[in-house]
Structure 1
Amino acid sequence: MKVELHADDWLLTMSLVGLKRLFPEEAEAIPTGIRFDMSHLEDITDRYFNYLLNNYSIAERENRITARSLSRIGSSTDTFKEAKKQVQKRMTDQLKKIVKYFPDLEATAELENSLEVVKKIKKQEELPLLEEKKDIYIETLRTEAIHDKLTLNFAKSVILSPLFGQVSFLNVVHNSKTISEQKEIMEKDYIRPAILETKWLELLNNETDMEKLRQFLEDHNDYKPFKNWLKVAKKLDTVTQMKTYMEGNIPPCILLEGQLGTGNFEEMIFSPLGTSLDKSLNFSWNLNKKQPVPLSALGRLILFMVPIGASVYQRKIGFGNQSEYENFYGFLYYNDHFANVYQTNNHYRSHRLNENPFEEVIIDVLQESTSKAQYKKQEYMFIEFHSNYDSKKTLLDYYHMPAYITEFFLQSGKTLRWIHRYEYREAFIRSILDGKDPKQILFRYMKEVVNSNRDGINILMAVRERRRFQLLKKGVADVKENSKIVYHTFKQGQSLRRNLLGEQKAREAAMKGVYTAGGDKRIRGIAYRLLNASKAGHRKNFLDTVYRLYLGADMEIPTVLLNVLHERDADFETITSAFISGLLSNDNIEQENGVKEQ
């Protein structure tokens, strides 16, 4: 029996992408989703587990992390100590798990001995020995029994449980069981109900003998819904009567057309969107408290494909010491043939696995998909969510990407690499994805540049990209021409900087032996005052400070600054930010990096 599963929304599309990944050949793509032979349901469990073991390998993950730690060792003793500390900690943490499950394996004993050697390593000259023991650690994790046990437990706790809680084989009480035993639990809880319900529907729609329907329900009356339906079937004479009963008493599945709502869409089905039954009254089907959001067994199984269809990665939340890393699930959704959406998300996932910077991932995926559509501008929706079942916490972001945002990334997104601090660059990009003016992120980044004594050329690129984004959002055709004001204002700031530094050198020469603040330090103090005025929108305060600077330097005030009150050339924040970036930027830095007006 073949069924057509339609990708009506992002959640169902994500699920079907997961199913297609498990059955790349067998699941046939149709314009609106996939056509799937229900006989393949019997193969889902094996493919599901194999996918987890292959894609979340604990050995490969630890190899990447430890290799990265050792690669950062330079000539400094401190970097060696830190790397050795990290490798030792990871070996210790994994060894505890290995000893718990495999205390008698030879590989376990070898790893214990290796860890004791690592603990005694003190000198940087012993790096080859540390690398040797690291390799033994990785080979131990590649031992089949150890690898499969630790990988599956990792995938269950980090990838699956945040979305589904501890249902079925995800419950921690099953962690000590073999993979075969855990597969049996999944078969019982997810696969068999879906198979039984689809076979029942096939019988109900095609059979004319009521006795055969009763016999089917009798044969499988250990399945709770069938047990209840059997009581009714024994009192009915015809298939038509049974159909009438089903249509009148069993609600349809909210997720899949033609399926029966035998269960509920609640927290343990999909934590990010599900609610507990006692809080679902506003969603109740016919005000039925016991079945507020009806869901079929097949629908439940399809939702279990979400972690396979999504791209899973770590995202940094916050800035500096106030930041933390959380696991997120990402997906790109847009209105197109399902096969194209599937390929786009495969492309997105491969970039995420390679740990490419966020903006490069977005740009590359957009370029790939738009080129296939002959540069047809799609309106994308980027879905990203984090969920923690235990704390009942979900962060769900929908980034609607209309054509102007897509155009922004395709035209000039790569320039964002100039925002050197990753957390500021990502926050800047997310503001744009959200259609919001990224000026607050820009101000925060400018403050970081001022305080860290870095060159203002980094600010210039952020200011220019913010300007371009604003113009594209307004529908301005000639973005390049209208962005020249940023570079012009930047050059005015540079010109004033050169004059102020020249003044400082003359002052130092005239006051030998007397302490004077360094020129750059003085300029950064000025930039800080100007930044505060810009953030607060105090145009007069900004201009008062600028007037004094130009009068003191015996320079003519540029027209672009005189017009800032009326925002004749550009908005206040664009002019002030560009000017401050020039005030903080050295000419030689600009030349070295090939920065030019564009």
Structure 2
Amino acid sequence: MKVELRMGEWMITMGLVGLYRVFEYGLKHEIIAPQYKNSIVVQPWGLELDINVLPQLPKAYFLYLLDEYSVAKRECEKLQLYIKQAQKEEQFKYALSTIKETMNNTGKKALKYFSHEQLENVLETLKLIKKYENLNDLVACVNTFQAIIHEPKINEKLTLNYFKAAILKSFFGQVSFLNVSKNSLDLEGHIEEFQKDYVTPAFYDLRFEQVLASAQSSEEIMTFLDDHKNYQPFRALKKAWKAKTLEDIQSDAKNIMNKCLLLSDHVAFYNFEEMVFSPIGVAKNNAFNFNWNLEDRQPKPICSLAKLVLFFAPAGAAIYLKKEGFDEQSEYRTYAGFVQTDATFSEILQKNNHFKQLKQQKEPFDQIVSKLVQSVTKEAQYVTDHLFFLEFSSDYDSKKTHLHYYHLPLYLAHYFRQYGNKLDYIQPYEYREHFVQYVLRGADPAIVIYKYLRYCIEKGYSHIGPYIAVRERNRIMQLKKGVKDMSSTDKRVSALFRSGQEIRAAFMQAANGSDKKVMSIAYRLLNAAKAGNKESFMDALLRIHMSVDRPIAPIFLNALHERDLDFSTVANAFISGLLSTNFKEEQEDVVS
């Protein structure tokens, strides 16, 4: 029996990408038997699935995740980097401390589940290593430790614990093998739970739909239900249909039984709730505004097949760490990212494979966008593509989700294709990331530039980054208005930047190099700019020019009238110049 799994909401499409990745992985590593090689076929609208392959998927699912998130692989890569550091005597102390922390943390987790005399000895020997002269002993300890954590039983247990807590918990509640009561399960136990809780219900429900459609009598349907009477949804149906005719049963199936919200062709016995997909699910008992046909027991019906597809969503996403916030008021969160388009499924699969690869290589978000946009060569092709990104970080315990949509309208596609590489100058990395994400959300990145300028003032940094941020924001704003030629506005922004550099140079000469005074002025100007107070900004600007006996350039009338440039661009371009010291070295970058 074959069924169509059609793309739809992003979480279903993500699940289909994950399902196909697991299927490909299973075939490649001979986890899925060769006779099933054509059981999942890519179609323009999604996947065509032969349900006979379903029992093959649980083992492939876990082995895919074990390979993807192998603790042994990850920890050994870290240790090899630290060993390279330790070989330099000046870095030995720091490297040794990090190696000890890594090995002790991982080793204690392994010893919690397994008695291992060799591992205990390695950790004891590690305590005795304190000096650079013991480098050979340290290398020997690390090599032995790496061999130990690569042992299948240890790597399996540590990796299972890791991806359940760090990855799957962001997607689902405490269902199936994710329940804390199932923490003692080994790999085979996890596979059996997946089979029982996800695969078997989907298999039963699909067979039920087939019997319901082809039955010639009510007895056929009742016999099928009786053969699977231990399956809870069928027990309820058997009781309700016991004395009904075939026509009555078919009428109930058509008019009373719920259909799935996500895969509309299928009968729904379950709910779309937080334990099924926690990032946007709602607890069933609290879903008063979501009651379906006033039925509070099943407010948001979904089918077992949709539940199964959603459980593959973690394999369909790119998983990465992302820094939220700025400087000291920041934290790293694990995010799942996905590229959604109106293109065919094969194109979505290709884009997400590329996206995942770039994220694994730790490419900045602007470079990822630029590279994905390069394949869009014609405007008409882009209009039908509707490329956008989404990412979320979800914590099931706190019932909290950070969900971001990044849309790529046509003017931004033009920008990233033509100017995207210019953002490389914006450093540190986090300001560049926030700048791009504000732009993709359709928000004005001026707020990021204000924070960036304040950061540079506080740290005493002087480089081209703030000016580039101001110029690129202006380019984006111009493209949004439909302006194609940037030369005139680029020259105005450059002139404002140079004006700030010249005033700084003049002020430093007049004040005998008082950098603190310049920073104080920059603070005052930045506060006025951030508040949108043109009068206060112009008053401070006039005083600065008077103090160094310089006339104010006519271009600053833009700050009042905003004819050619908006106030934020005028103010921030000048402040960027005021913070810049390397006038000659930056000329080429300013005009590029």
TM-score, with length taken from structure 1: 0.91
Separation in 1 of the partners of 2:574 and 2:220? Answer: 83
For 2:51, the equivalent position in structure 1 comes to 38
Is 1:486–1:574's contact at 8 Å kept on the other side of the alignment?
yes
The amino acid that maps onto 1:395 is H
Aligned with residue 586 of structure 1, among 561, 581, 585: 581
Shift of 1:196: 0.6
Give the number of aligned pairs.
Answer: 578
Partners of 1:456 and 1:582 within 8 A in 2: no
2:34 maps to 1:50: no
Tell me, yes or no, if structure 1 residue 88 matches structure 2 residue 100: yes
**Residues 136, 355 of structure 1: alpha-carbon distance in 2 compared, 3 angstrom cutoff:** farther
Amino acid at match of 2:79: T
1:581–1:373 CA distance, 2 compared to 1 (3 A): closer
The range that moved more, 465-474 or 531-540, is: 531-540
Name the Cα RMSD after superposition.
2.3
Is it true that 1:379 corresponds to 2:374 in the alignment? Answer: no
Measure how far apart 1:16 and its partner are: 1.1
Residues 111-145 of structure 1: per-residue CA shift (max 9 Å, x gap) = 32222232233234444543442333222221111
Out of 190, 198, 205, which is 1:197 matched to?
A: 205
How much has 1:405 moved relative to structure 2?
2.2
Contact 1:263/1:294, CA 8 A, preserved across alignment: yes
Distance 1:33 1:529, change over 3 A: same
Asked whether the 8 Å contact 2:558–2:566 carries over to 1, the reply is no
1:361 corresponds in structure 2 to 368
Check conservation: 1:456, 1:580, Cα contact below 8 A: no
Q: 1:292 aligns with which of 292, 299, 303?
A: 299
**CA displacement, residues 55-83 of structure 1 (integer Å, 9 cap, x when unaligned):** 01111211233344455669685x54333
Q: Distance in 2 between matches of 1:131 and 1:366?
A: 45
Give the TM-score taking structure 2 as reference length.
0.92
- How far, CA to CA, are the matches of 1:302 and 1:574 in structure 2? 48
Deviation at 1:44? 1.2
CA distance, structure 2, for counterparts of residue 429 and residue 540 of structure 1 = 30
Question: CA deviation digits over 1:31-69, x for unaligned, max 9?
Answer: 221111111111110111111111011112112333444
In the alignment, the residues of structure 2 paired with residue 589 and residue 9 of structure 1 have an alpha-carbon distance, to the nearest angstrom, of 53
5+ unaligned residues in a row in structure 2: which ranges?
Answer: 25-36
Q: What is the SS of the residue equivalent to 2:52? A: helix
Amino acid at match of 2:71: I
424-433 or 340-349, which deviates more: 424-433
- Partner residue of 1:515? none
Aligned to 1:231: 239
Of 369, 376, 382, 1:370 maps to 376
**Residue pairs, 1:305-344, within 5 angstroms:** 305-344=312-351
Identity percentage of aligned residues? 38
Cα gap change, 1:502 to 1:125, in 2 (>3 Å): farther
In 1: Cα distance, 2:582 partner to 2:112 partner: 62
1:495 maps to 2:490: no
1 CA distance for matches of 2:181 and 2:105? 20
Give 1:168 shift: 0.7
Distance 1:373 1:460 in 2: 30
**Rounded Cα–Cα distance in structure 2 between residues aligned with 1:186 and 1:198:** 17
Shift of 1:260: 0.8
Shift of 1:499: 2.3
Query: How far 1:373 moved relative to its partner?
Result: 8.9
Checking the alignment, whether the CA contact within 8 Å between 2:16 and 2:47 is kept in structure 1 is yes
Q: Which amino acid aligns with 1:267?
A: E
Q: Tell me: CA distance 1:133–1:363, structure 2 relative to 1, closer, same or farther (3 Å).
A: farther
Q: Which amino acid aligns with 2:589?
A: V
Contact 2:170 / 2:395 at 8 angstroms: preserved in 1?
A: yes
In structure 2, the partner of 1:178 is: 186
The 1:375–1:457 alpha-carbon spacing in structure 2 relative to 1, beyond 3 Å, is farther
Distance between the aligned counterparts of 2:327 and 2:356, measured in 1?
27
Partner of 1:508: none
Residue 464 (1) aligns with residue 477 (2): no
| Paired AA for residue 230 in structure 1 | K
CA contact (8 A) 2:271 2:301 kept: yes
- Could you tell me how far 1:453 is from its partner in structure 2? 1.5
Matches within 5 A, 1:21-32: 21-24=21-24, 26=38, 27-32=40-45
Distance 1:483 1:181 in 2: 63
Report the equivalent of 2:589: 595
- 1:76–1:594: structure 2 CA closer, same or farther, 3 Å change rule? farther
Change in 2 beyond 3 A, CA 1:76/1:416: farther
Could you say if the C-alpha distance between residues 127 and 493 of structure 1 is closer, same or farther in structure 2, counting changes exceeding 3 Å?
Answer: farther
Worse-matched range after superposition: 54-63 or 246-255 = 246-255
* Letter of the 1:101 counterpart: Y
Unaligned runs of 5+ in 1: 506-517
Return closer, same or farther for 1:596/1:303 CA change in 2, 3 Å cut-off: same
Match of 1:548 among 540, 543, 558: 543
- Match 1:266 to one of 266, 273, 278: 273
